Amino acid sequence: MAKKQVAEKELKAKEAELQDTKGRVKETFESEADSLSIDEIKSSSRQADPADFDWDADDKIFGNYSQAEREKLEQLYAGTFNSVEKGEIIAGTVVTINNKDVVLNIGFKSDGLVPLNEFRDMPELKKGDVVDVFVEQREDANGQLVLSRKRAKTQRSWEMINEALENDTIINGFVKSRTKGGLIVDIMGVEAFLPGSQIDIKPIRDYDIYVGKTMEFKVVKINHEFKNVVVSHKVLIEDDLESQKVEIVSKLEKGQVLEGTVKNITDFGVFIDLGGVDGLLHITDISWGRIEHPKEVLSLDEKVNVVVLDFDDEKKRIALGLKQLTAHPWESLDTELAIGSKVKGKIVTVADYGAFLEIIPGVEGLIHVSEMSWSQNLRNPQEFMKIGDEVEAVVLTLDREERKMSLGIKQLTPDPWEKAAEKYPVGSKHKAVVKNMTNFGVFVEIEEGIDGLIHISDLSWSKKINHPNEFTKVGEELDVIVLELDAENRKLSLGHKQLEENPWDTFETIFTLDSIHEGTVTKVTDKGALVALPYGVEGFVPTKHLAKEDGTSLKVDDVAEFRIIEFNKDSKRIVVSHARIWEEAKAEAVAEERATKKKEAKAADNAVKKVKDSVEKSTLGDLDVLAQLKADLEAKK
């Protein structure tokens, strides 16, 4: 049964093959007929004689061929066709080209068509050229052989790309376009990604200059699942530079001058490409003068000569210098410059401790904060000057060997303390501006450079001040009197309360012991309360003396009467009591009540005594009357 099925299949295949052959012959005939004109056909035609046709040719086994001859002819016929399988890549010869398709002969029983747009990369394509094509279908619905050059290119490209990755070989690609983070490269129909970091060894700022170029690449990664390819051009450059790098490093020496290209600029310095080897040119080694950023002096891709300052044992870190190629500015400093000389320059740095003045590029002097002003209140140099200010100063110290210089500004004006004793004698009155405050007092300035201290105890006669900010504020003007002057040590002691008479002499006559005054509670603490008394005087109330008659205690803002229970002029202390007032009143009331009761008791005793005395003086007649009265009463009973 199986043999029969096989035979039937073979028979059907032969019939199909024969049918294809007939169709091809017909197609060829029609093609040839189409190439002839009607006149040519008529002129070359002749009438066929029916007698010439062999009507029994079939019975005579088709031309009287023997079985061996037939098999030989069939073998020759079969050899003229290739065995073509779907998905196979095969070489095809261009038969003809029209405006839509390219006809290819791949040795199959029929030719195949490929869209002309698949040959856009071959503008010179002509008849007879051989190209690789991919067999998509041996026959479509119309019996046509379907081919694709695009798929053949893609498959060949993938094979080549995989081989390039495995063998680490170089391939060519066409840069199609720019994309986010890099470029798109066409490698024989396969799109690959070229990251921006893999274009060149130096940072690339304009990717567009590479679009449209054909370049060499190495495949660095393939993702077969997503058909992604990553290539690199940078590795080729690195390979070329590696040999140069080895040669440069082997000859590297301190003090050697090399030409390099500015590769990258950062805040702290510049990276210089020395021909495959990178060196760092620190910002402090770019110029003898101070600069805020390297880009003030250098720019990207600029060629510059640098000197090798240092490198590690493996020569991986190379320190370079640019300013060392020129003489140090201190060597060209004016030889006549000396201590006391006046100089002009520009402020290049301002720090907490002072500012640096650049006299000439590379030569700077320090103006310490203490040398900026005769005033002792200057604490922050930034309040006095800023970067870029043109300043004149006096040279205070100069060391050419150590290349150090200190400068002063205040020396340009007279020292105000030289005549302080004449201008500010003890007892003189002046106006001063509050500059600073501490827990113990207020620093004021009478004039620039002349500062004085008002101790907290010398601010007010009447108020008890815990901190000077309760009395005044920075920038406020105060009247002061000189209490003490030490010009040699630049010390000035001032007072404010001394401008007025001591009111405590008057208060002593007003706030006498046991006197009562109305006051307002201003503050309550654990130990007691503060009370505002008349004339701006403040008194203290111990806690137990805050009690009211109803058993509660006084609170802030309560107004009440207070009795003076202590007065100390020297310590300016007044102690008062509210409880003492009503307690004493209550005690007086109790005493008065006791006195009244005692008086009433005494009067009662006197009355009793009088009665007794009157009884003793009674007569016998009175007794008889009483007896008679008693008898009458008994009779009535």
Give the per-residue pLDDT at 3.
44
Q: In this predicted model, what pLDDT tens digit does every residue of 187-203 receive, in sequence order?
A: 877 889 999 888 887 77
Cβ neighbors of 273 (< 8 A, separation 6 or more) are 201, 202, 260, 261, 262, 263
The C-alpha atoms of residue 271 and residue 221 are separated, in whole angstroms, by: 30
Does this chain's domain 168-237 share its CATH topology with 252-325? yes
Give the per-residue pLDDT at 83.
62
Q: What's the topology of domain 89-152?
A: OB fold (Dihydrolipoamide Acetyltransferase, E2P) (2.40.50)
Q: What percentage of the chain carries pLDDT values higher than 70? A: 77
Q: CATH number of 504-584: 2.60.40.1220, 2.40.50.140, 2.60.120.260, 3.10.20.70?
A: 2.40.50.140
Token pair listed for 271 = 């990276």
Residue 571 main-chain phi, psi, to 5 deg: -95, 0
CATH number of 252-325: 2.40.50.140
Give the per-residue pLDDT at 335.
79
Q: Which residue has the higher pLDDT, 515 or 31?
A: 515
Q: In this predicted model, what pLDDT tens digit does every residue of 381-425 receive, in sequence order?
A: 887 888 888 999 999 998 888 888 999 988 888 888 888 888 888
What string of DSSP letters covers 397-443? EEETTTTEEEEESGGGS--GGGGHHHHS-TT-EEEEEEEEE-SSEEE
The C-alpha atoms of residue 481 and residue 425 are separated, in whole angstroms, by: 9
Burial of residue 286, with CB atoms counted within 10 A of its CB: 0-12 exposed, 13-18 middle, 19 or more buried: buried
The C-alpha atoms of residue 544 and residue 587 are separated, in whole angstroms, by: 17
Query: Cβ atoms within 10 A of the Cβ of 473, count?
Result: 11
Cβ–Cβ < 8 Å for 563, 515: yes
Burial of residue 570, with CB atoms counted within 10 A of its CB: 0-12 exposed, 13-18 middle, 19 or more buried: exposed
Dihedral sign computed on CA atoms, order 157, 162, 165, 168: negative
Q: In this predicted model, what pLDDT tens digit does every residue of 466-485 receive, in sequence order?
A: 898 888 898 898 889 888 88
Mean pLDDT of the chain: 79
Residue with tokens 């501006």: 433
The C-alpha atoms of residue 290 and residue 288 are separated, in whole angstroms, by: 7
Q: What's the topology of domain 416-499?
A: OB fold (Dihydrolipoamide Acetyltransferase, E2P) (2.40.50)
Q: In this predicted model, what pLDDT tens digit does every residue of 485-538 receive, in sequence order?
A: 888 888 889 998 888 777 777 788 888 888 989 999 999 988 899 998 988 788
Residue spans per domain, the chain = 2-79, 89-152, 168-237, 252-325, 329-412, 416-499, 504-584
The yes-or-no verdict on residue 253 having pLDDT over 60 is yes
Residue 599 three-state SS:
helix
End-to-end CA distance of the chain: 174
Point out the least confidently predicted range of 367-376, 405-414, 463-472, 612-621: 612-621
CATH class of this structure's domain 329-412: mainly beta
Closest alpha carbon to 274 in 287, 262, 286: 262
What string of DSSP letters covers 197-226? GGT-SSPPS-GGGGTT-EEEEEEEEEETTT
Domain 168-237, CATH 2.40.50.140 — does that match? yes
